[in-house]
Amino acid sequence: MKPTNTQPSRPATAPANRFSSPRWALASLALSTLLASLGASVAAVALPALAQALDTSFQQVQWVVLAYLLAMTTLIVSVGRLGDLMGRRKLLLAGIALFTLASVLCGLAPSLWLLIAGRALQGLGAAIMMTLTLALVGDTVAQEKTASAMGLLATLSAVGTALGPSFGGLLISGFGWQALFLVNIPLGLLTLWLAWYSLPVRQVPPKAQTIRFDITGTVLLALTLAAYALAMTVGHGSFGGLNIALLLAALVGGGLFVRVQSRAVSPLIPLAVFRDKSLVSGLATSALVATIMMATLLVGPFYLSITLGLPATFVGLALATGPTVAALAGVPAGRLAGRFGVQPMRLAGLATMALGCLMLSLVPPVLGSAGYISAIVVTTLGYAFFQTANNTAVMADVAAQRRGVIAGLLNLSRNLGFFTGASVLGAVFATAAATNDITRASPEAVTNGLHTTFAVALAMAVLAVVIALKYRVPERLSEVEDTPGQGGWHSEHHRLSRDPNQKN
């Protein structure tokens, strides 16, 4: 992308100390991203130990993971909007503090339900951290370095996901399940201290201070997203009456939300932003890509253990390949996007993902783990290229006072893709394997399930390519028409870029 303004929007009121450079500010954002992603992945490995220690069923203890994901998903847009209104730095500091205090509650929880409550608070803190780190990139680095910064954040997110299971296993074996949460205390305090001293202090514009936060829209959106997320997760792939009822509730809630937003004076999500086709393209392709990536987490363990007969240790190593590739490719992907432009890198990433899905839909068991891992490497490499370029494309030209809500929408599209992939592609896999108990399926049935699932994933990847080709992201700000009703948030950016004193 070739921006018109190459100077970072740093205020005169930034703290004057040795940690106030953009490099330290970016380090604080990267640590926030790492903590939030680690919090999502580290608890999954502890479920058996938690079920035993708290004397509860596996179905109940799963809420330790689900509460975190639900809180993060349902509130991720609302916290972005709140950051736009009250100040992103201030809210990020509050989010880091909340995440750290919630970790104390989790580590000291004497019962399952207090642990679940603590995890929900952790999820709220993580929603603030995941959203505002993306939004604050524009306040901390020069615009020509945005792609590299996004690549670094993507790398730390992947590192957190990859590190979670192994790191959690070490903590449980050495110190007990409480250590999974108490370890966040020093990490959280370090992140809070660094963010406090390094992030630029910006004055919230007087206009933003007079805007009321849309509480009605926030409640409606949270209930709608919660209903959809539960519809996609309860039943573990089998879609019953409860799933249908929850999905209908989500549809009704979505309709009410749109109606309320269209009439609100200060809506949570201004519906005009969806007139920008490049933004819609970025959100839609993000959701499709996340759906595909969830399939690799769902299907891989069964193919590796049942079809290939690998022991649990080697299955874990094979599954770590994807996050490792994403972690290694994040920063180079950012540099490539900065050099060649976000649109070519988006397309290259999607095309590479499509190739990986094709390989997975055809891979024969005779190739063993090498055949599967090579296909996963290709798929994940494409994901890393796409994710960095797409995040950069969506966030680069957003008006300063709307970065929070747009970053929230971007994170929401990814989370909804994960939930959808878990349900839809999980159901495709179970149907293709032709069994109600996948753990007892034959190697041939699991192979057929793998091939069918990734044939569907391939179709999704092709659809994402079509969307990206049809609705291209502008490489120059000047290419965006500054006309009423067209790209509302870009148009406001043009007005604000002519008067930098009005920026948030």
Q: What is the residue extent of each domain of the chain?
A: 13-208, 214-267, 270-504
Instruction: Find the DSSP H helices in 87-214.
Output: 88-108, 112-140, 146-175, 179-182, 184-198, 206-209
Confidence of residue 500 (pLDDT cuts 50, 70, 90): very low
- Top-confidence residue, 358 or 425: 358
Distance CA 286, CA 273 (A): 17
Give pLDDT, residue 93: 94
Indicate whether 458 pLDDT > 60.
yes
Indicate whether 119 pLDDT > 90.
yes
Residue 82's contacts (CB-CB under 8 Å, 6 or more residues apart) are 91, 213, 404
CA-to-CA separations, 489 to 100, 214, 299, 492, in angstroms, rounded: 34, 19, 40, 5
Weakest-pLDDT range from 128-132, 141-145, 173-177, 422-426: 141-145
Which of the given ranges, 100-114, 231-245, 311-325, has the highest pLDDT on average? 100-114
Distance CA 30, CA 331 (A): 12
Percent of the chain with pLDDT over 70: 85
Give pLDDT, residue 473: 60
Q: What is the pLDDT of residues 54-63, one digit of tens each?
A: 887 766 787 8
Residue 414's contacts (CB-CB under 8 Å, 6 or more residues apart) are 286, 287, 289, 290
Confidence of residue 115 (pLDDT cuts 50, 70, 90): very high
**CA 395 to chain CA centroid, nearest Å:** 14
Give pLDDT, residue 404: 82
Give pLDDT, residue 353: 95
Token pair of 299 as six digits: 């299907």
Q: What is the pLDDT of residues 248-278, one digit of tens each?
A: 999 999 999 999 988 888 888 888 888 888 8
Q: Within 10 Å of residue 349's Cβ, how many Cβ atoms?
A: 29
Q: Which of these, 41, 100, 32, lies nearest to 65 by C-alpha position?
A: 41
Give pLDDT, residue 11: 42
Confidence of residue 495 (pLDDT cuts 50, 70, 90): very low
Token pair of 321 as six digits: 């390949």
- Top-confidence residue, 456 or 238: 456
Average pLDDT over residues 448-466: 94
Give pLDDT, residue 480: 35
Confidence of residue 484 (pLDDT cuts 50, 70, 90): very low
CATH: 1.20.1250.20, 3.40.50.720, 2.60.40.10, 3.90.950.20. Which one for 13-208? 1.20.1250.20
Confidence of residue 343 (pLDDT cuts 50, 70, 90): confident
The torsion of the CA quartet 130, 133, 137, 140, rounded to 10 degrees, works out to: -170
User: For the chain, how many helices (H) and strands (E)?
Assistant: 21, 0
Give pLDDT, residue 24: 86
Confidence of residue 213 (pLDDT cuts 50, 70, 90): confident
Distance CA 211, CA 113 (A): 37
Specify the CATH number of the domain 270-504.
1.20.1250.20
Q: What is the pLDDT of residues 177-204, one digit of tens each?
A: 888 899 999 999 999 999 998 887 766 6
Confidence of residue 240 (pLDDT cuts 50, 70, 90): confident
Give pLDDT, residue 494: 38
Give pLDDT, residue 439: 66
Distance CA 29, CA 26 (A): 5
Round the average pLDDT of the chain to a whole number and report it.
Answer: 81
Burial class (CB in 10 A: 0-12, 13-18, 19+), 57: exposed
Indicate whether 139 pLDDT > 90.
no
Q: Within 10 Å of residue 317's Cβ, how many Cβ atoms?
A: 15
| Same fold: 13-208 with 270-504 | yes
Give pLDDT, residue 191: 93
Instruction: Find the DSSP H helices in 303-438.
Output: 312-319, 321-340, 342-362, 368-396, 403-420, 426-433
